Amino acid sequence: MVFDLSRKTTTALTTNLFRLFFILYGLIVLLPFVWMFYNTFKTNMEFNHNIWSLPAQLEWQNYVVAFKKVHVGVYMVNSIIITSVAVLVNLSLGAMVAYVIARFAFFGRDFLYKLFIAGLLMPQILTVIPFFFLMREFHLYNTRLSVIIAYIFWGMPFAVFLLVAFFKTLPRELEQSAMIDGCSHFKTFSLVMLPLARPGLITVGVFHFLEFWSTYILPLTLIGDTAKKPLALGLVEFLSGLYDTFGERRDWGAMFAAAIICILPVLVVYAVFQRKLIAGLTAGSLKG
């Protein structure tokens, strides 16, 4: 009895310590965003006077400046176009490749799958220079399409890796029933298996959206025109102009407002698909 009580006490103490650790960790991560958010409502004079004080009143002008001076609207449209197209194409191609690898036996299947796994191990920075010369050779440099193609190349190994494991968890009886009813392989895939793989597709899509939205080095290498740059590049370009001729910083409020606008889509996507994201990860890990 004493032993059981001691073990319960130890377990409760350990659980509370873990909870306290994660609460503190969450506060450490959250506080910089809270600080940045309330500084978006301060004037430059208020910010320069005391960076930690709360705003005297809500100054929405910084968000107006972010759209007019930082051109957040233009950069946002570019990011939406590039990220959306890359994610959709990646999901479409990745699902088809993963389904073939998971369901069909053919010569070189294992070798093909291992090639995709090897793609996960390749550092992305190593592909930047080859992509630059390749896009320039095909006259795609300084276009949004060049970044989309690079994102598809980067994202395909992860999509295939996760979706192969997910398709293997689906029962083969469903495919056999569809084939008996007269469905072709493509109809079986698109009408039967693909809807069942929705949790896995959502998982891949969310991960790719989070990665593609904030990627910096690749768009920097492939796009030189300011009007075609995504949001991450636009914010850095504005940050480089935060100094006037006297070396004084300026427009921090507008910069913080632009950063909040940049972060907001990521938070919304993750909040909406959080449950399905976890379900997709756990479902795909049941069978490999």
Give 50-60 pLDDT, tens digit per residue: 888 888 888 78
Q: Which two tokens stand for residue 179?
A: 């084939």
Q: Check pLDDT > 80 for residue 287.
A: no
Structure confidence by residue, pLDDT tens digits, 119-168? 888 888 888 899 999 999 999 999 999 999 999 999 999 999 999 988 88
Report the distance separating Cα 67 and Cα 76, nearest Å. 10
pLDDT tens for 250-272 read 678 888 888 888 888 888 888 88
**pLDDT for residue 277 is more than 80:** no
pLDDT surpasses 90 at 181: no
- Backbone phi, then psi, for 213, in 5-degree steps? -65, -35
According to the model, what pLDDT value does residue 156 have? 94
pLDDT tens digits, one per residue of 210-227? 899 988 889 999 998 888
**Whether the predicted pLDDT of 245 surpasses 50:** no
Query: Over the chain, what is the mean pLDDT?
Result: 84
Over 50: is that where the pLDDT of 236 sits?
A: yes
Q: Does domain 61-284 have CATH number 1.10.220.10?
A: no
Q: Can you give the pLDDT at residue 135?
A: 92
**pLDDT of 194 higher than 70:** yes
**What pLDDT, on a 0 to 100 scale, did the predictor assign at position 144?**
93
pLDDT grade for 113, boundaries at 50, 70 and 90: very high
Alpha helices in the chain (DSSP H): 2-39, 44-49, 61-68, 72-103, 109-121, 128-137, 144-168, 172-180, 185-187, 194-196, 198-214, 217-222, 231-239, 252-284
pLDDT over 60 at 1, yes or no: no
Averaged over 179-199, what is the pLDDT? 86
Among candidates 127, 121, 116, 134, which has minimal Cα distance to 151? 127
Three-state DSSP class for residue 249: strand
Confidence band (pLDDT; 50, 70, 90) for 13? confident
Model pLDDT, residue 50: 85
Residues with Cβ < 8 Å from 223, sequence gap 6 or more?
142, 143, 144, 146, 147, 229, 230, 233
Confidence (pTM) = 0.84
Give tens-digit pLDDT for 66-97. Answer: 887 777 888 999 999 999 999 999 999 999 99
Average pLDDT over residues 109-113: 92
Name the more confident of 282 and 86. 86
d(CA 266, CA 72): 15
pLDDT of residue 243: 53
d(CA 70, CA 220) in angstroms, rounded, equals 17
What is the distance, to the nearest Å, from the Cα of residue 143 to the centroid of all Cα atoms in its chain?
21
* Per-residue pLDDT, 252: 80
* Structural contact between residues 288 and 165, judged by C-beta atoms closer than 8 angstroms: yes
pLDDT of 242 strictly over 70: no
